[in-house]
Amino acid sequence: MLIFFLSYLGGVLTIFSPCVLPVLPFVFARSDQSFRRSGLPILLGMAITFTLLASFAAVGGAYLVSINQYGRYAAMLLLLLLGLALIFPALSERLMRPFVALGGRLQQQADSHGSLKGALLLGVAIGFLWAPCAGPILGLVLAGAALNGANLHSAVLLLVFAAGAATSLGLALLAGARVFSLMKRGLGAEEWVRRGLGIAVVTGVVVIALGWDTRFLSQFNFLNTAGAEQKLLAKLDKPAAAAHVLQQESDMPSLAGASQWLNSPPLNSASLRGKVVLVDFWTYSCINCLRTLPYLKAWNEKYRAQGLVIIGVHAPEFAFEKDVHNVAQAVQEQGLTYPVAIDNHYVIWNAFKNQYWPAHYLIDARGVVREHHFGEGGYHETELMIQTLLKEAHQGQPALNDELVQVSGSGVTAAAADTPRSPETYLGYARAQNMASPDALRKNKAAHYTTPDLLEMDHWALSGKWRITAESATSQTSGGTLSYNYRGRDLHLVMGAGQPVRFRVTLDGIPPGKNHGADTDEAGNGVLHEQRLYQLIRQDGLIKERTFRIEFLDSGAEAFAFTFG
């Protein structure tokens, strides 16, 4: 709800923009007329025009983002132009000139028509003026809309912003010239505020263009488009808590709502009729999901020709997993060739009433859900059901090879050890547990933390300067450390960085040696690149309780969650 409140407040404050002031006398001239026949049509015309113009900008930005990863930078041009216009009034005037001219012509037409039609035209004219004058808050809304894609949430944000602008305009209509005089007296201070915000916006865009956005924006809440994505993900786009599990023998839910498809054109229930379908919900930094991939790949290879269609529905847990480029890279690295639906807004997830990663649903050739399984395991039972459904679908055809696939994963996809292990542990304050640093946690602020001499089992601690957000902890300087007293064969850490970050890990105070993971060497050295799950430790031989420590030799490392195997 916070992002909606800020959007509404931003809309309310746009009436103080200098470029809006020239049109307000024409509005106040009608303040003595009927609000229903004059004021209300003005507000409606303004809100509709403003929302349409802003939506075109958001859709255009989203299209740029969808082209490729570098389209993200192109979308940021919206923010750059806005920031420069805030700093340089002459540039703002030049950019606005076409809108002002069109608004002026519409205003003349408004004066020549009757009261109701003229008021509506005047509202349209104000909408053309209001859109380019809306200020940095609208820019952030548009940037977030572009980065998240055209969707209902983005449209509602823009509508809420327009409602805020209409509210302030309505109050101005009711208050008349006194409000206009007050705004003129406060214009000087507002101009400096606008320029300051413009400088901040331009600085942020330059940093984004250099590839440092995940680090820079995390430091500044008012420019934090990544934070906006995280809040939308956590509060608006989060998976709906299902009242009950999708019942077997129900019709297959719709696959509509995916923002993009990989390895396939969009699929739907009708086109899949006659096929046996396995829908698998996963996300690429989830260790439990990764350990199921060898089976999915083997089933796809063995049964695809017999009519099995596997669909991976990628529903992100963390904000960075919404980046289609990241998902496509993970799909390629894992060698997935079956269709993958990008379900960034949990439309398919909610249609299936799903609550788990991983989760799979088996649908027969009639389009009926026949089986579901949550979490790892149950592979033999699932494959036997695949064979049963294929035999039902192809009665009278040659029998299938009933021999079950033999799968042996490697690296992060290897099956978990059959030993006690520590629980999945999140580092962001929204879900953090068992943090042992004695220092007070400072939400969304850089602060110094220390590690106690002894860590209890399943507890973790930071040392150095870190910034803890709802989803992650980010090192602010080189030399920051993260320690965990854990049990398990494998230790994984979901991490990311805007640029390469070197790190070194130890076990019980010494290099891991043969206990190193796929992303470290025997000396414990590694380099953090993209945002993903990193395997740092795989104990060789006797598995016992250990104290793990990772030191980041460069600043900017972002750590999300520990998982164990």
Could you report the per-residue pLDDT of 392-449, keeping only the tens digit for each? 888 756 567 778 888 887 888 888 888 889 999 999 999 999 999 999 999 999 999 9
Same domain, 174 and 283: no
Last residue of a domain, one of 371, 387, 413: 413
Same domain, 231 and 85: yes
Last residue of a domain, one of 413, 437, 457: 413
How far apart, in whole angstroms, are the C-alpha atoms of residue 209 and residue 83?
A: 15
Q: How confident is the model at residue 215 (pLDDT cuts 50, 70, 90)?
A: very low
Last residue of a domain, one of 367, 384, 413: 413
Same domain, 317 and 458: no
Could you report the per-residue pLDDT of 273-315, keeping only the tens digit for each? 899 999 999 999 999 899 999 999 999 999 998 999 999 999 9
Same domain, 559 and 451: yes
Q: How confident is the model at residue 247 (pLDDT cuts 50, 70, 90)?
A: low
How far apart, in whole angstroms, are the C-alpha atoms of residue 476 and residue 402?
A: 56
CATH number of the domain bearing residue 449 = 2.60.120.260
Same domain, 272 and 165: no
Decide the pairing of beta strands 558-564 and 490-496. antiparallel
pTM of the prediction?
0.58
What pLDDT shows up at residue 232? 39
CATH number of the domain bearing residue 408 = 3.40.30.10
Same domain, 92 and 177: yes
Same domain, 407 and 517: no
Query: Does residue 37 belong to any structural domain of this protein?
Result: yes
What pLDDT shows up at residue 413? 85
Query: Does residue 272 belong to any structural domain of this protein?
Result: yes
Among the residue ranges 47-56, 200-209, 422-431, the one predicted with the least confidence is: 200-209
Same domain, 399 and 477: no
Our count of domains for the chain comes to 3
Element (H, E) at 225: helix 225-231
Q: Where are the alpha helices (DSSP H) in 18-39?
A: 24-28
Query: Does residue 432 belong to any structural domain of this protein?
Result: yes
Could you report the per-residue pLDDT of 27-45, keeping only the tens digit for each? 555 555 555 555 566 666 6
Q: Counting beta carbons within 10 angstroms of the beta carbon of residue 190, is it exposed (0 to 12), middle (13 to 18) or buried (19 or more)?
A: middle
Same domain, 113 and 42: yes
Same domain, 286 and 216: no
- The 3-state DSSP composition of the chain as helix, strand, coil percent (nearest 5) reads 50, 20, 35
Same domain, 185 and 41: yes
Query: Does residue 419 belong to any structural domain of this protein?
Result: no
Query: Does residue 60 belong to any structural domain of this protein?
Result: yes
Same domain, 10 and 77: yes
**How many of the other CB atoms lie within 10 Å of CB of 205?**
24
Mean pLDDT of the chain: 75
Query: Does residue 467 belong to any structural domain of this protein?
Result: yes
Query: Does residue 75 belong to any structural domain of this protein?
Result: yes
Has residue 508 got a pLDDT over 60?
Answer: yes
| Mean pLDDT of all residues in 242-255 | 66
| Mean pLDDT of all residues in 445-458 | 94
Query: Does residue 226 belong to any structural domain of this protein?
Result: yes
Instruction: At 561, list the tokens.
Output: 């969650």
CA distances from 178 to 7, 53, 174, 187 (A): 26, 30, 10, 15
Q: Which residues constitute the domain of residue 405? A: 260-413
